[in-house]
Structure formats: C-alpha cells, structure tokens
Amino acid sequence: MSEPVRRALPPSVFARLADATRYVITGVSPDTWFGPLQPLAPMAPPEVKGRQWDYPFGANLNYIPRAEDGVSFPELRGLADALPLLRAVIETRKDQIAAQGFAIRARNREDSSASSQAIDQVTRFFARPDRRRSFADWLRMLLEEMLVIDAATIYPRYNRGGSLYALDIIDGSTIKPLIGEDGRPPEPPDPAYQQILKGIPAADFSAVELLYLPRNLRAHRLYGMSPVEQIALTVNIALRRDASTLDYYRTGSSPDAFATLPKEWTADQVRSFQDYFDAVMSGNRARRRQTRFMPANYKLIEGRQPPLKDQDDERGRASSATPSRARLAVRDDAVDPVRPQRFRGYRTKREHFLDR
C-alpha cells in the first residue's frame, strides 16, 4: 500500500491577518481627511532588511575601481599634479606630518625588560617599514594616497615563521572593494578586495590580508572622498584661469593692436611698411623701447583686451588658494611660494646633517 501524499497546510485566515497587521500603523484610517494612509507592505525578502545602502545590481562585477563615481582615480591624480598651488599645499602637509616625531610605548605603561625589548623591536621595524625606505619617506607615500585619492592601502608581508616582515604600500587606485549581500565588506576568509592590473582582476584579498584605509568613508559609497575631490570644482576653475592666461600670451586670432596709415597709401605700400616695421621690431626688445617716427595721421587702436584682473592680483589667487589650504588644514603662511616643496620654518634631517 503506497504512502499518502503529505502537503503543507495553507496559512489560515487568522495567520494571514496577523501578518498583515504587522504593516499597519495604528490610528491611520482611510476615513481620515487627507490622511497619510497605510504604507505598502514590504515586497523584498526578509533577509534584505538592514542593507547598508542601495548598491547597484551586480556591483562586484564592475571591477574597474571607481568607475561608477563622478571623478576617477586618474582624474584625481591629474588634478593634484596639474595645479602648482594645490601640489605645493599637498607637499607642505606631507612635510608637516613627516616632521612629527613618534615613540613606541606599552599600552599598560609597564616598565619591564620584556616590554622594553618589544618596544625596541617595533622601533627598529618602523625605521624602515617596507625594508626599503625610511619611515618619513614611507609615510609621505601613504599620505599621498590619502590626500589625493583617499585610498591608502598597505599590504602586510610575513616571513616563513609567521612574523610581520614588511608593510608595503600599494597603489590604492588598483584596489576594488567587494561587498556582500548586506552591502558591507565580507568577513574573512571571503575575499573583500580585488586588485585590478592591466584592466583585469589579478588578485583577491581578504580583510586580514590587506589594509584598505579610506579616511573619509560614506555609507552610500564604496570609496572615500579625498580632500582633492572635495575641491575638484575649485581646482578646475583655477586650471582654466591659468590656461586662459597662458593662451593670452601664447595664442590668439586677433593682433594686440591695429595702426592706421595715410588713406592715400596703396595696398603695396602698406604691405611694404608692415614688412619693414616687423623686420625692425621683431626679436629686438631693446629697440621696442625707443622712440619711433611714424607717418602723419598715425593712430594706434588696441585690439586685444587685457587679461582678467583676478588673474594677476592677490585676490584672484586667494580665491583658488583658500579652499585648497582649508581642506588640507594648512595655514596661509605655511606655503612658501619660492620653495613650494618645504614650508617655512621646517628643515629636513638631511639639511640639519649637512650644517654640522
């Protein structure tokens, strides 16, 4: 005799009513005059509840870092390098931070031989964190990644015994953060980051294999927002102002001025005089300052407008400099226009050594 077919009982009317009341706001009635009405019941599965943000479908498949953001990593690096004033502010901030001293101390403040030995070991390690560069040079590289693209990335390397061997800095623009169903980085041992090389995914890293350290994280973005990105519009305006000033001196479709000659002159006479005048004046800066005798009824007409006033005065420069210094927390008197790579009052260890 065959076994009877077992079927799950459908939910009762009372169970369906109980589920429906979970989405009902007490006191809200359709009879309320222009009332808010009851909200729609959730249509997504229960496990969707608590997602960090409404990420795009297939976000992990778009493996080009920062492809979905308005400003790409190469554009941020280009902005930081194209404007000399912004680069001077960045270098000043790097100098200020790299000039700070540091000391390794025990957390429990105990003064034992074991703690002293461990402190000495850590201090020796940070003398050259990546086994190649000094701590100041290593820190400047890390600060560049933080200030320009806000994607400071450190790859810890270990020896065969499992001890930390080096802290290598990786170009943060090659790292693509991954997310789980809840919109957050996956927990180890699942991959949390991908390194993109030559336009393809080259390596996976878990959250313990790679230190990805954006400074200005936001809940609705995978990537941080660097100080350079925050002033991208101001930098673009400054670059276009400088380009306009350069074009004023370099290119143009109209001459600087027009000069009138006697109306009785023929076209050949005007052309001959133009050739003579150009031959005398071209390339001879000293002679341009001397008095020139011109035909009667000579009149000079300025044909080219002077450059914008704010391109040459201090107020125009300050309009571009203030946001850059403010976002990087640099005082106005810290940037030296003569020596943009150093801020006033700061001397490197190499300069101190040479003065001995």
Single-letter residue type at 83:
L
C-alpha to C-alpha distance for 61 and 93, rounded to whole angstroms: 37
C-alpha to C-alpha distance for 298 and 267, rounded to whole angstroms: 16
Pick the closest to residue 142 from 129, 157, 153 (CA basis). 153
pLDDT tens digits in sequence order for the chain, 356 residues long: 566 656 665 656 555 555 555 557 888 888 888 989 888 888 999 999 999 999 999 999 999 999 888 899 999 999 999 999 999 999 999 999 999 988 888 887 777 788 888 899 999 999 999 999 999 999 999 999 999 999 999 999 999 999 999 999 999 999 999 999 999 999 999 999 999 999 999 999 999 999 999 999 999 999 999 999 999 999 999 999 888 888 777 766 666 677 888 888 899 998 998 898 888 877 777 776 676 677 777 777 666 565 555 444 455 555 556 666 666 666 655 655 444 444 344 344 434 333 44
- Number of other CB atoms surrounding residue 261 within 10 Å: 16
Find the distance separating the first CA and the last CA of the chain, reported in whole Å: 105
C-alpha to C-alpha distance for 24 and 30, rounded to whole angstroms: 12
Query: Which residues, 6+ apart, have CB-to-CB distance to 337 below 8 Å?
Result: 88
C-alpha to C-alpha distance for 319 and 273, rounded to whole angstroms: 46
C-alpha to C-alpha distance for 282 and 105, rounded to whole angstroms: 70
Pick the closest to residue 97 from 354, 346, 350, 351 (CA basis). 346
Structure tokens at 80: 């930081």
C-alpha to C-alpha distance for 234 and 241, rounded to whole angstroms: 11
Burial track 177-211 (b if 16+ CB lie within 10 A, e otherwise): bbbeeebebbeeeebbbbbbeeeeeeeebebeebb
Strands, sheet with 200-205, edge to edge from the N-terminal-most edge strand? 175-177, 193-197, 200-205
Pick the closest to residue 194 from 73, 18, 322, 66 (CA basis). 66
The pLDDT of residue 339 is 44
- In a 13 Å sphere around the CA of 212, the CA atoms on its Cβ side amount to 26
